[in-house]
């Protein structure tokens, strides 16, 4: 690694800012507000409300620079080193931005607290020509009932942006460069590394046993925002070339662990229906613009959205260390609550998902939560059933989240299903077994009995959706 730089440099609203003696784990939101840029609001602090939304210039699914809406409460300052940030203060220069004009003319702001976040989400969508309801799915408002905000988006949805912001996208480079930032903060040494090669990541992990990996930070950011944790050595993976690959062949899809969920959503739409479905319900655009596939697996949360889908599709991991690489089926990856098979010094490089070659495959995923897109699941499930020409089950994969200490497959029920006819009688038998397959906890989101019922009923829902003519009253 190159020698640590005592300065952390970024661009905010076109102005280059050089910071010295600032903790790299300070959230971007905290820095913005402490520096007087208080248009960006602090609401929930965990990426749910969208009041802290900013726009960051980043590479989109097409590899070109785009304005991307993100939650500044979850982004450590080190992650925006060398990058360009736009806040609500930077939109108007002598006159309001078209998004702001539309919000004024439709009465889209009442108390105003949430308004800057809405404006920034719509700002990013304005230049992507995607001003639809989904662009503000991660923004909460208690006053307007959203109708006026929807009218504001509709009012300018057909605009052809041609201004200093669109021009900036034409003349900027969104590729991330390597950084090494070191500081003594509160009497403690802190280092933030952003290497561009996997080999350097592995070397840092060997040299620093206390190093913490971060990609999008949508989970780890909670430790910073909520619990005020400071990490002595943090290694960002979002610029590592080997972790950015996305490859599709006739036989499989390979996704780099640092590929964001919005990139997966855009580039793989239609390949795996169950993945499409779960990504639709995965948090909001601000989160999907930051969250990565490797991060969602590496945190080993029992309620992470993507593991059930990947388990149902027989995904496998490519894992690297200085000693070499190894392949591990995802079903063997989760070892306990927030525990994985990753050894010290190892990094998830990619996820490989095989494609089904036969004609008779049913596959879908489901998520049950108290809200739609912007909530964690009570129970999530993903199912894959392969049939022969006589509707006999050749292979079954039933995967769940929220019902055990780890994401898990119902292995015994899968074995029971193999060889059975795919009909309602078989599903009824499987439901009885599924009710006893897991021992979930009761908490504020749902009781253990409720979760057990969901485990069984979601499988029946899957059958009804894909074999409606087989259902008997």
Which CATH number describes the domain made up of 1-172? 3.10.20.30
Residues β-bridged to residue 90: none
Q: Is the pLDDT of residue 266 over 60?
A: yes
CA distances 154 to 141, 158, 265, Å, are 18, 8, 24
What is the rounded CA–CA span in Å between residue 284 and residue 121? Answer: 11
The string of pLDDT tens digits covering residues 428-439 is 999 999 999 999
Exposure on the CB side of residue 345, measured as CA atoms within 13 A: 12
Q: How confident is the model at residue 188 (pLDDT cuts 50, 70, 90)?
A: confident
Q: Is the pLDDT of residue 352 over 50?
A: yes
Q: Where are the beta strands (DSSP E) in 93-221?
A: 179-185, 188-194, 211-214
Element (H, E) at 434: helix 424-434
pLDDT of residue 433: 98
What is the rounded CA–CA span in Å between residue 249 and residue 328? Answer: 20
Average confidence score pLDDT of the chain: 94
Q: In this structure, are residues 394 and 388 in contact, taking their beta carbons and an 8 Å threshold?
A: yes
CA 161 and chain centroid, separation: 28
Q: How confident is the model at residue 473 (pLDDT cuts 50, 70, 90)?
A: very low
What CATH topology corresponds to 360-473? Enolase-like; domain 1 (3.30.390)
User: Class of the 240-355 domain?
Assistant: alpha beta
Please state the domain extents for the chain.
1-172, 240-355, 360-473
Rounded mean pLDDT, 138-159: 91
What is the rounded CA–CA span in Å between residue 116 and residue 181? Answer: 31
pLDDT of residue 471: 60
CA distances 345 to 217, 229, 390, Å, are 19, 22, 49
Beta strand 347-354 with 361-368: parallel, antiparallel or unpaired? unpaired
Q: Give me the residue label for tokens 């190093």.
A: 211
Rounded mean pLDDT, 155-160: 96
Among residues 95, 90, 89, 87, which one has the least CA distance to residue 71? Answer: 87
What is the rounded CA–CA span in Å between residue 334 and residue 330? Answer: 8
Paired tokens of 346: 């190892």
Q: How far apart are the two ends of the chain, measured CA to CA in Å?
A: 67
Q: 373 or 296: whose pLDDT is higher?
A: 296
87: CB partners within 8 A, 6+ apart: 12, 13, 32, 37, 39, 40, 54, 55, 116, 120
Q: In this structure, are residues 134 and 285 in contact, taking their beta carbons and an 8 Å threshold?
A: yes
Q: In this structure, are residues 422 and 469 in contact, taking their beta carbons and an 8 Å threshold?
A: no
The string of pLDDT tens digits covering residues 447-471 is 999 999 999 999 999 999 988 777 6
pLDDT of residue 445: 87
Q: Is the pLDDT of residue 5 over 90?
A: no
420: CB partners within 8 A, 6+ apart: 392, 393, 426
């Amino acid at each position: 690694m190159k020698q640590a730089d005592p300065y952390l440099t970024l661009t905010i609203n076109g102005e280059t800012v050089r910071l010295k003696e600032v903790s790299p784990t300070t959230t971007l939101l905290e820095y913005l507000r402490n520096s007087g840029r208080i248009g960006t609001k602090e609401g929930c602090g965990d990426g749910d409300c969208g009041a802290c939304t900013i726009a960051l210039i980043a590479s989109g699914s097409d590899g070109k620079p785009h304005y991307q809406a993100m939650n500044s409460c979850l982004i450590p300052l080190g992650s925006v080193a060398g990058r360009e940030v736009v806040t609500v203060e930077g939109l108007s220069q002598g006159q309001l931005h078209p998004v702001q004009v539309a919000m004024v003319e439709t009465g889209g702001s009442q108390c105003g607290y949430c308004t800057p976040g809405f404006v920034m989400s719509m700002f990013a969508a304005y230049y992507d020509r995607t001003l639809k309801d989904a662009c503000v799915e991660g923004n909460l408002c208690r006053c307007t009932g959203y109708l006026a905000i929807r009218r504001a988006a509709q009012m300018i949805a057909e605009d052809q942006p041609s201004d200093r912001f669109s021009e900036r996208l034409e003349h900027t480079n969104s590729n991330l460069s390597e950084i090494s930032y070191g500081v003594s903060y509160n009497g403690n040494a802190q280092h933030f590394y952003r290497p561009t090669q996997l080999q350097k990541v592995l070397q840092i992990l060997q040299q620093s046993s206390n190093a913490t990996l971060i990609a999008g930070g949508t989970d780890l950011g909670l430790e910073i925002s909520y619990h005020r944790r400071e990490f002595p050595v943090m290694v960002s993976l979002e610029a590592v070339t080997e972790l950015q690959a996305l490859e599709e062949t006739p036989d499989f899809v390979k996704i780099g662990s640092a590929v964001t969920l919005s990139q997966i959503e855009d580039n793989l739409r239609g390949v795996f229906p169950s993945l499409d479905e779960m990504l639709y319900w995965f948090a909001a655009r601000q989160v999907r613009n930051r969250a990565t596939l490797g991060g969602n697996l590496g945190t080993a949360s029992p309620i992470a959205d993507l593991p059930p889908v990947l388990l149902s599709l027989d995904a496998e991991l490519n894992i690297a260390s200085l000693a070499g690489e190894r392949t591990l089926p995802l079903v063997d990856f989760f070892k306990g609550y927030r525990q994985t098979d990753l050894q010290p010094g190892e990094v998830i490089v990619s996820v490989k998902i095989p494609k089904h070659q036969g004609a008779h495959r049913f596959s879908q995923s489901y998520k049950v939560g108290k809200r739609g897109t912007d909530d964690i699941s009570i129970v999530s499930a993903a199912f894959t059933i392969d049939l022969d020409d006589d509707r006999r089950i050749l292979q079954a994969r039933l995967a769940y989240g929220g019902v055990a200490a780890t994401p898990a497959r119902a292995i015994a029920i899968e074995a029971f299903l193999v060889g059975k006819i795919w009909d309602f009688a078989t599903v009824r038998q499987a439901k009885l077994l599924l009710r006893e397959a897991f021992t979930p906890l009761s908490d504020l989101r749902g009781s253990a009995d409720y979760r057990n019922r969901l485990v069984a009923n979601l499988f029946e829902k899957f059958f009804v959706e894909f074999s409606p003519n087989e259902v008997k009253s």
